[in-house]
Amino acid sequence: MFWFTGMHNPALQLIVHGENIASSTVSLTYPGVKLVKVNKVENPNYLFLDLTIASTAKAGKFPINFTVNGKKLLNYTYELKNRDKSEGRIQGVTQKDFIYLLMPDRFSNGDKSNDVVKGLTETTLNRDSMYYRHGGDLQGVINHLDYLKDLGITTVWMTPEIENDMPKASYHGYAVTDHYKIDPRYGTNELFKKYVETAHAKGMKVIKDIVHNHIGTGHWFYKDLPMKSWVHQWPKYTQTSYRDQTVMDTHASQADRKKMLDGWFVPSMPDLDEQNPYVQNYLTQNHIWWIEYAGIDGLRLDTYPYNDPAYMADWALKLKAEFPNLSIFGETFVSGVANQAYFTQGNTVNRGFNTHLPGITDMAVKEGIYEALNGKNGWTDGVNRLYDVIAHDFLYQDPTQNCIALDNHDMSRFYSVVNEDFDKYKMGMSILLTMRGIPQMYYGTEILMKNFSNPDGLVRSDFPGGWIGDKKDKFIAKGRTSKENEAFNFVKTLANYRKNSVSLQTGKLMQFVPEDDVYVYFRYNENAKGTVMVAVNNTEKEKTLNTDRFAERTNGITIAKNVISGESQSIKEIKVPAKTTLVLELN
């Protein structure tokens, strides 16, 4: 590809791949650029070139010369570009934001010309199957950014957009075959950059989903490995145990820990050896390249616990050095608050080093919300489970940087998990949009899309209206049912209220022990108006709150406004209807 001038780290490592390229001699001449070392590896089809780019180097093109026995083999033109220092690039994603997660193949088809691309392994387009491509693309997402903005979304996160040239299920994006190329069935690198710029122009941010741990078997460098240690090798195929506990367990055997970290995710996804410095350089530089090239605001790190811990800490430091405002959060599909917190920054006593990972995907909060909605109240069950999860926030350096969600592309949809109970749906969405952390919603939740993760992967169904010829267009109000519009408007009201609520965007959280099966918490700023009071009543009966016990947060306040209805009421006696999460602004 190309690189940039003015980077914090002057080092750059280029991979050269070509038949017996190691037999050549390499040279280059360009002011401020120095060829420090030419590294030969096991496979003679590779050279790794170590360059330094001085702070004085200017943007421009220069040849890298390859000769064999003094005769010219190749002059490759490489380019340095100026860093883009435009205002509003790489803003970071915070508690002020509301993330919308979508799968580009299943959201909207904005360009039919790229539905099938000749030369790729999979050339089947079949919307009747959940395992083939459906034709959604980047242009389809761009076409509906206004829909998302109207809904109250501030940040868009897509599952990986880069090339997945695999024979089956290539649509999901997690089996990369070229790290530097947008999958041509989604568009081009240039279109991806346009997507980010268009989102920014509309006041929205972009998160890119990246995978450190594994690749697809169709990757060009897997087909011709630079060295055996490029991926983890086993005497016979060995799959990861998926046991994150082995990474943190002080009693764990080294064999169990190795199987967790070095085992392959699935047979079609080779596990990269992140202790290999060449692999480290390749991944780190690739992620820096995409951020600088496109102006991405944040990264979601797939399968975080499966990566080499020391490398991931070094990676985080290198990226933050280049992009101080960049936000990152790691996928920790684990059980329990302690398991999640173990991977976050600041736990140096437990780990012996700092992971420099600000936040994680907070599955414990998700499970706590589900228990509050579906469980029977008890000492540690029902609403008490959610209270207990939040009480463990002391384990994090900063829990507000955790990403909280009710579902995603790997799990059953929220509306189905609450048995299509619309009251519980509204309860859950109210908690999601008022709880500490960065809320994330899976595409279609706003129109009550449903289904379970098994069987048949129906949680990845198409968004109705995203394709020409769809019988219903749920991007517009007249295409939705009355209940779908009620759900859409409920989310829209809360999400847009959140955009202007200092307490929900930057406020602290104070929670009270659930009493009479009602869980109450507050979001507040000490010196700002607009404290938000949230009362969760998961029972079948209306409850009346004794507000005297909340005096720490309600003292001096007489009136509360219902955020959804807009109605005002006295703070002295608050009635919480059955199966309701009441959201009140105190004034």
Residues annotated as catalytic (active site), given as ranges = 302, 331
What number of other Cβ atoms are within 10 A of residue 171's Cβ?
A: 24
- Identify the DSSP state of 266: B
Q: How many residues does the chain have?
A: 587
Longest dimension (CA), the chain: 90
Please return the burial class of 566, using the count of CB atoms within 10 Å of its CB with bins 0-12, 13-18 and 19+. Answer: exposed
Tokens 């037999």, located at residue: 23
Q: Give 307's contacts (C-beta < 8 A, 6+ positions apart).
A: 212, 213, 261, 274, 301
Could you give the 3-state DSSP secondary structure of residue 513? strand
Closest to 140 measured CA to CA, from 407, 470, 439, 496: 470
In angstroms, the Cα distances linking 102 to 108, 208, 261 are 10, 11, 28
Could you give the 3-state DSSP secondary structure of residue 142? helix
Quote the radius of gyration of the chain (alpha carbons, Å): 26
Encode 118-134: b = buried (16+ Cβ within 10 Å), e = exposed. eebebeeeebeebebbb
Tokens 């437990």, located at residue: 350
For the record, the structure tokens of 288 come out as 């820096």
**Distance (Å, rounded) from C-alpha 213 to C-alpha 305?**
9
**Distance (Å, rounded) from C-alpha 547 to C-alpha 532?**
14
Encode 531-554: b = buried (16+ Cβ within 10 Å), e = exposed. bbbbbbbbbeeebebebeebeebb
**Distance (Å, rounded) from C-alpha 328 to C-alpha 490?**
29
CA 360 to chain centre: 9
Tokens 């080779």, located at residue: 270
Could you give the 3-state DSSP secondary structure of residue 36? strand
- What is the torsion angle, in degrees rounded to the nearest 10, for the CA atoms of residue 104, residue 105, residue 111 and residue 116? 140
- Identify the DSSP state of 540: S
Q: Please check whether residue 185 is in contact with residue 161, taking contact to mean a CB–CB distance below 8 angstroms.
A: no
Closest to 321 measured CA to CA, from 293, 353, 287: 287
What number of other Cβ atoms are within 10 A of residue 335's Cβ?
A: 13
For the record, the structure tokens of 430 come out as 């109210």
3-class SS string, 162-230 = EECCCCCCHHHCCCCCEEEEECCCCCCHHHHHHHHHHHHHCCCEEEEEECCCECCCCCHHHHCCCCHHH
Please return the burial class of 197, using the count of CB atoms within 10 Å of its CB with bins 0-12, 13-18 and 19+. Answer: middle
